[in-house]
Amino acid sequence: MAIAEEIGKPQPRLIPWTRKLEGMPWWMLILLLVGLLIVYSIYSSDIYQDAFTFLLPGLKLTIVVTLTSFSISIVLGLIAGLGRVSKNIVFYNLSTLYAEVIRGVPLLVQLLYVAFVLVPLGVDLLNAIGGLMLQHASSNPLLGIAHSLANLNIKDVDMTVRAIVGLAFGYGAFEAEVFRGGIQSIERGQMEAARSLGMSYFQAMRYIILPQAIRRMLPPLGNDFIAMLKDSSLISALAVRELTQLGKLHRSRTFRTFEAWNMVAFLYLIMTLSLSLLVRIMERRMAFEE
Amino acid sequence: MKNSIVEPLPTDDDIIMIDHVYKSFGKTRALVDVSLRVKRGEVCFIFGPSGGGKSTLLRCINHLEKPDSGTIIVDGIPVTDEKTNIDKVRAEVGMVFQLFNLFPHLTVLENITLAQRIVRKRPPEEAERIARQLLERVGIPEKADSYPGQLSGGQKQRVAIARALAMNPRIMMFDEPTSALDPEMIKEVLDVMMGLAREGMTMVVVSHEMGFAKAAADRMVFLDAGRIIEEAIPKELFANPKKERTKQFLSQILY
């Protein structure tokens, strides 16, 4: 009786254990072990614990800066991406100019340029507008705005804000290409069907094209988010007290070079690895749906 | 506008008026001096060899393609006029495509209600009621909550017809509606089209389904190399085509 049941069951396919070992994600295991080691040392060593508590505000700022800049860059990317597929000559050329210029300048130079050239120019412009408004303003609520515009000082614009603007514009150009690719990957018939039902171009984009395109864009957007998280370390050049900058400070404060950079690298790695794991899951789910 | 001479009176019987339309794609001449009238309630059947300009002609009527020259007037509205709000015209002209072009991210019901809500501004309940009625009519009420990917080709095309009908169009255009279907699904789509024709819908059909033409068409138009070669009622065209090219084409496709 028991034997008959045993035979009736589907037999598990036998795979030689050596083959199973080959397919193992060893890199992940090694990472996990190293990670555990570091976590253990943080708990057991005062030096690492000191580094961790010192770096923690920087870690938070890195996350805040990345999230904010990425959200802005998505909006910029959507606008410029729509421009890249637009038949409107002005809109198309402006968007293409933006994408080409940004992609041709190193991100570090862009950040310095935005922080020390564009933002001061913008402040000058606002001062001028405020001055003009003061000359012509008659009503009270406008007067308040005019005063604050005219008296705006370049020092009032926080470096963190400048860094966020710089990162957002820099990544907006890449996001524009992601949007363009996503939109163009949708079959032409979708737009034609939507238009033939009487929808306007923008209604068709909003209800038909973009919802489909965004699904296909999620993995590349996820990768760009990870890239931005790493590139946010560049804003340490603007002395923004994010993770890398605090790493520098911690090193010069304690002369514990080894521990400081170990800790910084480890914190970045934890964030990027968990995010790329998310992107992988997303990609797999997408492949399944299509 | 210059073409005020052809501005039709509201009582005019011609719902589509195409005059001297030319269209080229690069060096290929898709339409050459095409003029055609379609009467209200008429079923106009356009056929001919592939690359002959049939689809282009259809797509010019709702301005998916812009003619190089010539005028097209649909229900009194000049679609070739730059100033015309083309979205308004398109809402009145339903179009069914060879490859269905259903919206894959929406359910069948949403496919049919979306344009009703955002173009016709109907309240959601009304749009849904109309959508369910139409699904009943095309014979697949049970598929309302399915996604297009879960339907067969014939079912997809019937949903596409329902989607176009939901806008209460005055004209229905069919661009080879059965060409991408498996043979056993052609009939279910043609049945729906026959029903529409019987109810007096104005239809412009580009197709190779000669059986449908015989049964439902009021007029047949033979288009080859961008020109209208011959126009006649089906009986006449099948019995004695006047032009040599028509004869030759019919002998090639009819058994």
What pLDDT, in 10s, does the model give residues B27-47?
A: 999 999 999 999 999 999 999
Out of A150-164, A263-277, B68-82, B178-192, pick the least confident. Answer: A150-164
Which of B45, B36, B41 minimizes the C-alpha distance to B214? B45
Distance from CA of A97 to the nearest CA of B (A): 28
pLDDT band with cut points at 50, 70 and 90 for residue B4:
very low
Check residue A138 and give its pLDDT: 66
- Report yes or no: B150 at the A interface, CB cutoff 8 Å: no
pLDDT for residue B96 is more than 60: yes
- Residue of A186, A196, A217, A290 best to disrupt the B interface, most CBs of B under 10 A: A196
Q: Average pLDDT over chain B, rounded to whole?
A: 91
Inter-helix orientation angle A257-289/A26-44, to 10°: 140
Out of A11-20, A84-93, A205-214, A224-233, pick the least confident. Answer: A11-20
By residue count, chain A amounts to 290
- Residue of A197, A217, A289 best to disrupt the B interface, most CBs of B under 10 A: A197
CA distance A240 to A218: 30
Residue with structure tokens 């923004």? A240
Condensed to tens digits (0 to 9), the pLDDT of residues A133-151 reads 888 766 667 777 777 888 8
pLDDT for residue A20 is more than 90: no
Give B103's contacts in chain A (Cβ within 8 Å): 190, 193-194, 208, 212
- Report yes or no: B147 at the A interface, CB cutoff 8 Å: no
| Cα nearest neighbour of A214 on chain B | B105
pLDDT, greater one: B58 or A45: B58
Check residue B1 and give its pLDDT: 38
Check residue B236 and give its pLDDT: 92
Q: Average pLDDT over chain A, rounded to whole?
A: 88
pTM beyond cutoff 0.90:
no
- Residue of B93, B114, B157, B165 best to disrupt the A interface, most CBs of A under 10 A: B114
CB pairs under 8 A between A and B: 59
pLDDT band with cut points at 50, 70 and 90 for residue A128:
confident
Check residue A42 and give its pLDDT: 80
Give A289's contacts in chain B (Cβ within 8 Å): none
pLDDT for residue A25 is more than 70: yes
The dihedral sign for the CA sequence A39, A45, A48, A49 = positive
pLDDT band with cut points at 50, 70 and 90 for residue B5:
very low
Distance from CA of A218 to the nearest CA of B (A): 15
Distance from CA of B113 to the nearest CA of A (A): 11
Do residues A233 and A248 touch, judged by C-beta distance below 8 A? no
Cβ–Cβ below 8 Å for A189 and B93:
no
CB nearest B101 (choices: A190, A199, A211): A190
Inter-helix orientation angle A159-184/A46-84, to 10°: 50
